[in-house]
């Protein structure tokens, strides 16, 4: 999907059908949340590979808490000159994220600590808490909210690997990119961007582990 706007930088997103807060795979929802916090840290392997390397200006991963197919996103921003490079670098990095050794147990513990702090801050104002509880009640249920941090603390690197294999790798996605008319004239048009939409395959190592 190409969005035509008078912008100065290229921004876009990869979007997949992710897990839901109802059904038999609740574990994947906690893995998705903890992974997002871990890889969005400035010093993470994900950020070093995509931002510190110069491929992209900004990259963020997230999953939206929803009862019916919560979407999983990789959001990115780049300069016009490096837009294709940024998109291709993300596509190369995603298969690596399916390996159990991509994130360490310490990184996941740090992510859970960040989530714990965020939950404490959210509860400081009664007015904010009412909106917070309304959100959780409608999108996941209060039981889910009450046990959230305990379940998040149980997430392992293997759980994150399983989430990636089940919902992102070898799965259909939508690539949306926002560019200006001037960028399109210089080669970032619909046809050239469409050529970048290719399957994000799991690595052979990840595929073998998934079949065990």
* Residue 14 to residue 71: CA distance in whole angstroms: 10
For residue 207, what pLDDT is reported? 52
Give the distance from CA 179 to its chain's centroid: 22
* Residue 10 to residue 126: CA distance in whole angstroms: 39
pLDDT < 70 positions in the chain: 204-212
Cβ atoms of 33 and 63 within 8 Å: the answer is yes
Question: How many domains does one find in the chain?
Answer: 1
Number of helices followed by number of strands (H, E) in the chain: 11, 5
For residue 80, what pLDDT is reported? 97
Q: Find where tokens 């582990």 sit.
A: 209
Cβ atoms of 175 and 116 within 8 Å: the answer is no
For residue 211, what pLDDT is reported? 47
Query: What range does the domain containing 54 cover?
Result: 2-210
Instruction: Please write the tens of the pLDDT for every residue from 164-202.
Output: 999 999 999 999 999 999 999 999 999 999 999 999 999
pTM of the model: 0.92
CATH of the domain at 37: 3.30.830.10
């Amino acid at each position: 999907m190409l969005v035509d706007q008078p912008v100065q930088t290229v921004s876009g997103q990869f979007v997949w059908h992710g897990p839901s807060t109802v059904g038999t795979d609740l574990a994947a929802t906690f893995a998705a949340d903890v992974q997002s916090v871990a890889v969005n840290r400035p010093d993470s392997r994900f950020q070093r590979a995509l931002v510190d390397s110069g491929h992209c200006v900004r990259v963020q991963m997230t999953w939206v808490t929803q009862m019916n197919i919560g979407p999983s996103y990789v959001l990115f921003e780049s300069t016009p000159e490096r837009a294709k490079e940024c998109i291709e670098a993300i596509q190369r990095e995603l298969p690596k994220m399916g390996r159990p050794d991509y994130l360490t147990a310490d990184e996941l513990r740090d992510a859970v600590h960040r989530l714990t702090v965020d939950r404490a801050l959210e509860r400081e104002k009664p007015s904010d808490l009412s909106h917070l509880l309304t959100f959780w009640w409608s999108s996941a249920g209060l039981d889910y909210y009450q046990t959230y941090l305990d379940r998040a603390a149980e997430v392992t690197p293997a759980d994150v690997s399983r989430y990636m294999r089940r919902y992102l790798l070898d799965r259909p996605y939508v690539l949306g990119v926002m560019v200006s008319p001037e960028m399109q004239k210089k080669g970032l048009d619909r046809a050239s961007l469409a050529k970048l939409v290719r399957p994000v395959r799991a690595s052979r190592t990840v595929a073998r582990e998934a079949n065990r």
